[in-house]
């Protein structure tokens, strides 16, 4: 049985608890990703344009970023991910996403356009350090159920497909050998040296360093976009315990119940800016 429920699935949570699959691994981290599909005015369409950004409109004590892709027939996919570790419990990821679209670099895109679809989904962002043990008697975790999202690129469908293939190949070999109801250890061992392992290993320090020392230093240091990590190559920084972060949030909210939005108005734009805005064309 291969479990592919996506991030934070109900069966997955039970399996991880029952078989202690998280033992010896860092805790998993989560974010909420919101996405809209727009059909935009032809004059505002730039086929192949890709934009990623970090920060704004999130103020201090919250982190996340955006993506925007121009594709197909005047279609634009735009989305915003907020890490579920923000200090202020009144912060609304949906409202932050809407405010993000008002940024001077963004708002023109949507003028005269029509929103066709929208949705939201949890993402797992712990990466390499937080991947649980993948196998249990008679089954295995695949895709985002296993935490295979490359968080730095907000990209997980490639690893979902690859892990499904890897697990299926190993399950086929086990069944052909007459095995059943045991652990598919070959899949567990294969994934570290596979394309999935290489993909996650490269960006393993982005999230922990971002959480520990902030966006401006943590992300470049962590090796976003595969910057060579000569000094960090042998290290894997740890993802913090979820309960430590929760406690930190509660304490911060007690100290200052003010709405986070006030920190991130237009003045916040200057302070936070769109740190690390990356623009590229992908024909």
Ligand X SMILES: Cc1cc2nc3c(=O)[nH]c(=O)nc-3n(C[C@H](O)[C@H](O)[C@H](O)COP(=O)(O)OP(=O)(O)OC[C@H]3O[C@@H](n4cnc5c(N)ncnc54)[C@H](O)[C@@H]3O)c2cc1C
Q: Which residues bind ligand X (CB under 6 A)?
A: 4-6, 9-11, 33, 35, 79, 121, 123, 143-145, 149, 154-158, 160
Residue 215 sits at φ, ψ, to 5 deg, of -70, -50
Find, among 66, 32, 73, 34, the residue nearest to 50 by Cα. Answer: 66
- Report the side by side order of strands in the sheet with 64-71: 114-124, 30-39, 75-83, 64-71, 49-54, 278-281
For ligand X, the closer of residues 37 and 221 by Cβ is 37
Write down the least CB distance from residue 34 to ligand X, Å: 6
Write down the least CB distance from residue 87 to ligand X, Å: 22
- Distance (Å, rounded) from C-alpha 199 to C-alpha 27? 19
Find, among 89, 88, 35, 83, the residue nearest to 55 by Cα. Answer: 83
39 and 116 Cβ atoms separated by less than 8 Å: yes
Q: Residue 19, SS3?
A: coil
Q: Write out the two tokens for 259.
A: 């709405």
Q: Write out the two tokens for 240.
A: 């913090």
Write down the least CB distance from residue 280 to ligand X, Å: 14
227 phi-psi bin (left φ>0, alpha ψ -120 to 50, beta other)? beta
For ligand X, the closer of residues 4 and 197 by Cβ is 4
Write down the least CB distance from residue 272 to ligand X, Å: 21
83: enclosing H helix or E strand: strand 75-83
For ligand X, the closer of residues 267 and 281 by Cβ is 281
Write down the least CB distance from residue 253 to ligand X, Å: 26
Write down the least CB distance from residue 32 to ligand X, Å: 8
Q: What sign results for the dihedral spanned by CA atoms 99, 102, 103, 105? A: positive
Write down the least CB distance from residue 249 to ligand X, Å: 22
- Distance (Å, rounded) from C-alpha 38 to C-alpha 61? 30
For ligand X, the closer of residues 98 and 216 by Cβ is 98
For ligand X, the closer of residues 148 and 253 by Cβ is 148
For ligand X, the closer of residues 159 and 239 by Cβ is 159
For ligand X, the closer of residues 163 and 263 by Cβ is 163
């Amino acid at each position: 049985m291969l479990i592919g429920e996506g991030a934070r699935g109900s069966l997955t949570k039970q399996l991880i608890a029952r078989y202690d699959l998280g033992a010896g691994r860092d805790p998993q981290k989560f974010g909420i990703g919101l996405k809209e599909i727009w059909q935009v005015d032809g004059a505002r369409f730039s086929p192949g344009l890709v934009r990623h950004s970090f920060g704004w409109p999130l103020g201090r004590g919250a982190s996340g970023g955006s993506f925007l892709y121009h594709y197909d027939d005047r279609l634009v996919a735009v989305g915003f991910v907020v890490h579920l570790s923000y200090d202020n419990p009144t912060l609304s990821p949906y409202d932050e996403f809407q405010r993000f679209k008002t940024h001077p670099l963004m708002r023109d895109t949507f003028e005269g356009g029509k929103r066709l679809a929208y949705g939201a989904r949890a993402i797992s962002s712990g990466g390499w350090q937080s991947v649980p043990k993948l196998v249990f008697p008679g089954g295995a975790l695949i895709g985002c159920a296993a935490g295979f999202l490359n968080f730095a690129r907000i990209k997980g469908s490639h690893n979902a497909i690859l892990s499904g293939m890897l697990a299926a190949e190993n399950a086929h070999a086990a069944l052909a050998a007459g095995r059943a109801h045991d652990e598919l250890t070959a899949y567990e061992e294969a994934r570290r040296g596979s394309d999935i392992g290489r993909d996650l290993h490269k960006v393993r320090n982005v999230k922990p360093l971002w959480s520990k020392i902030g966006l401006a230093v943590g992300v470049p240091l962590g090796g976003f976009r595969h910057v060579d990590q000569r000094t960090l190559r042998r290290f894997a920084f740890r993802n913090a315990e979820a309960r430590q972060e929760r406690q930190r949030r509660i304490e911060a909210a007690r100290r200052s119940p003010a709405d986070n939005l006030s920190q991130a108005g237009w003045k916040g734009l200057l302070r936070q800016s769109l740190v690390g805005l990356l623009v590229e064309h992908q024909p």
